[in-house]
């Protein structure tokens, strides 16, 4: 039974979204693009851009990065996370992405490209025109895909009409091929093949890998492979996946099973260098339902993969530091809301790390003096170091007073403004207790020395007194002997004469 096709129509004007918190910038962009016959939508915030992107199917979004509230990166990430807007092309128009780090951040957020202010009008219009052409092609492909999905009995004829339409608009296709930033190509079979449950698919793959050849390719694709047109034309899957035939056959089987494929895969350039590509492919059929070849659109994501790997390793290193260090560490935003804490920090408070995320430091640990110090660090961008600072849990007085060495270090964004702080703490309570005990011992020792000194002084005085008495006795004995001698002489004891 024949079903009625659901018709999709192309809009009279291609919708384009402009996002900037400054009305004057939106007016300037509108002036540059107003005569291109496109339908311009304007948003002055990230939230407004998100609402519009859910209501309209935009060909491209031109977005400023620095906006109050939700900036361009956050807006792009939210668009990318939503299936409805996940593939929406975004170009950042900003003066804040001149360094590689911001550019990588933009690409990771989902941007296709970026333009630096002040914008070159010709360059801007050219990029918008390319994405509008891509939008037209995408809309046509979506129309054909919907017809394939809803009109199973007529899908062969509909796809053939699509192919005929592409052939009839050769000039437009040439413009698309030449202006597209992504690699575009056709790979056609020498002879169409059936691909269904009755097919010996492994045997059919042998034929496909030897007889499906690149028949058309654009300059962007040649640049990806570092090849000339002569080197690429006529290549087969056997040639492209010579480095890993098994991987290639698995991809092709998935592709032909579904009729379309979106995949990230590794391939080899002409010089043997490995590269990562992200590709979208659609199979082409004839009137009998046989596969005649396919159309592919792919981009080189090697740089993104390397960045992802570097970030992964960096995150692993940070994770090891967080998990292995004996120092309590807390990472907070500039308003002192916890972003992350390590296990040591959480254990010191008797909670799990997840407990702190999103909570404010001074709601958990109110302290006017410390809050003033924290705010000064954010305002001045200067680190603060405290030694043996006493701390009492306001809501848990039973824990008593503890002492901490701590430092608060500002984390700056690329522009130099403090965007976060890192709090590092070491509990020195045992050291303080030991110092107090040592001080008490020293005081007790000093008191004992004073007492012993007083005792010795008293003994010494006694010895001096006794010595004086002894010396007096000696003198009196000498005087007595002298007196006796004098008396003996006075009694006339004379020796008799002969």
**96 — pLDDT class (breaks 50, 70, 90):** low
pLDDT digits 0-9 by tens, 14-29: 999 999 999 998 998 8
Give just the sign of the alpha carbon dihedral 478, 484, 487, 488: negative
- What the block records as the tokens of 250 is 């698995």
Query: Is the per-residue pLDDT at 493 higher than 70?
Result: no
Query: Is the per-residue pLDDT at 222 higher than 70?
Result: yes
Cα atoms in the 13 Å half-sphere on the side-chain side of 379: 6
- Give the closest residue to 109 by CA, choosing from 88, 135, 130: 88
pLDDT digits 0-9 by tens, 384-401: 999 988 888 776 777 788
The residue ranking higher by pLDDT, 352 or 436, is 352
- What the block records as the tokens of 207 is 């034929």
Cα atoms in the 13 Å half-sphere on the side-chain side of 462: 6
CATH superfamily for 11-129 is Response regulator (3.40.50.2300)
CATH superfamily for 325-427 is PAS domain (3.30.450.20)
> Which letter does DSSP use for residue 87 in this model?
T
Backbone conformation region of residue 293, classed left if phi is above 0, alpha if psi is from -120 to 50, else beta:
left
By DSSP bridging, strand 328-333 and strand 338-341 are antiparallel
pLDDT digits 0-9 by tens, 40-82: 999 999 899 999 999 998 989 998 888 888 888 888 889 888 8
pLDDT digits 0-9 by tens, 98-127: 555 656 666 676 677 878 878 888 888 988
Rounded Cα distance between 350 and 329, Å, is 15
- Give the closest residue to 322 by CA, choosing from 457, 210, 422: 422
Give the end-to-end CA distance of the chain in Å, rounded to a whole number.
187
The residue behind tokens 């590269």 is: 275
Domain ranges in the chain are 11-129, 325-427, 433-463
Write out the DSSP string of 354-365: GGTTT-BHHHHS
Beta pairing partners, 328: 425
H helices within 4-45, ranges in order?
Answer: 23-33
- Give the closest residue to 63 by CA, choosing from 20, 34, 29, 113: 20
Residue 105 pLDDT? 67
Question: Considering the entire predicted model, what is its pTM?
Answer: 0.38
pLDDT digits 0-9 by tens, 254-290: 999 999 999 888 888 888 888 898 989 999 999 999 9
Mean residue pLDDT of the chain comes to: 84
Residue 115 pLDDT? 81
Query: Is the per-residue pLDDT at 453 higher than 50?
Result: yes
Judge contact between 261 and 279, C-beta under 8 A.
yes
């Amino acid at each position: 039974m024949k079903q009625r096709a659901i018709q999709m129509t192309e809009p009279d004007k291609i919708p384009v979204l402009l996002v900037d918190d400054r009305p004057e910038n939106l007016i300037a962009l509108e002036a540059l693009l107003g005569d291109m016959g496109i339908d311009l939508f304007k948003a002055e915030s990230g939230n407004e851009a998100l609402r519009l992107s859910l209501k309209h199917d935009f060909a491209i979004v031109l977005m400023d990065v620095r906006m109050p509230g939700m900036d361009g990166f956050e807006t792009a990430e939210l668009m990318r996370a939503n299936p409805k807007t996940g593939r929406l092309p975004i170009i950042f128009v900003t003066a804040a992405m001149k360094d590689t780090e911001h550019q990588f951040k933009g690409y990771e957020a989902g941007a296709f490209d970026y333009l630096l202010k002040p914008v070159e009008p010709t360059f801007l219009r050219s990029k918008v025109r390319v994405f509008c052409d891509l939008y037209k092609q995408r809309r046509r492909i979506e129309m054909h895909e919907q017809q394939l999905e809803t009109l199973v009995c007529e899908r062969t004829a509909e796809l053939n009409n699509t192919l005929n339409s592409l052939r009839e608009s050769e000039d437009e296709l040439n413009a698309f091929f030449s202006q597209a930033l992504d690699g575009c190509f056709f790979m056609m079979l020498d002879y169409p093949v059936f691909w269904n449950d009755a097919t010996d698919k492994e045997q059919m793959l042998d034929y496909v890998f030897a007889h499906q050849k690149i028949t058309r390719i654009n300059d962007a694709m040649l640049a990806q492979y570092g090849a000339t047109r002569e080197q690429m034309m006529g290549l087969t899957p056997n040639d492209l996946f010579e480095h890993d035939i098994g991987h290639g056959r698995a991809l092709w089987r998935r592709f032909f099973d579904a009729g379309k494929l979106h995949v990230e895969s590794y391939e080899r350039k002409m010089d043997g260098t490995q590269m990562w590509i992200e590709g979208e492919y659609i199979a082409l059929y004839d009137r009998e339902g046989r596969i005649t070849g396919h159309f592919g659109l792919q981009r080189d994501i090697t740089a993104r993969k390397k960045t992802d790997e570097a970030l992964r390793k960096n995150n692993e290193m940070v994770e090891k530091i967080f998990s292995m260090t004996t120092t309590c560490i807390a990472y907070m935003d500039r308003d002192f809301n916890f972003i992350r804490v390590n296990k040591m920090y959480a254990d010191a408070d008797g909670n799990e790390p997840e407990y702190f995320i999103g909570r404010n430091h001074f709601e958990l640990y109110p302290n006017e003096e410390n809050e003033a110090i924290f705010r000064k660090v954010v305002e001045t961008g200067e680190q603060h170091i405290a030694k043996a600072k006493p701390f009492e849990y306001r809501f848990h007085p039973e824990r008593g007073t503890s002492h901490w060495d701590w430092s608060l270090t500002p984390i700056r964004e690329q522009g130099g403004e403090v965007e976060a702080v890192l709090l590092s703490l070491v509990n020195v309570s045992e050291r303080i207790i030991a110092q107090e005990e040592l001080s008490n011992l020293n005081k007790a020792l000093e008191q004992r020395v004073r007492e012993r000194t007083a005792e010795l002084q008293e003994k010494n005085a006694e010895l001096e007194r006794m010595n004086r008495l002894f010396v007096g006795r000696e003198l009196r004995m000498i005087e007595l002997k002298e007196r006796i001698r004098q008396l003996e002489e006075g009694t006339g004891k004379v020796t008799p004469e002969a």
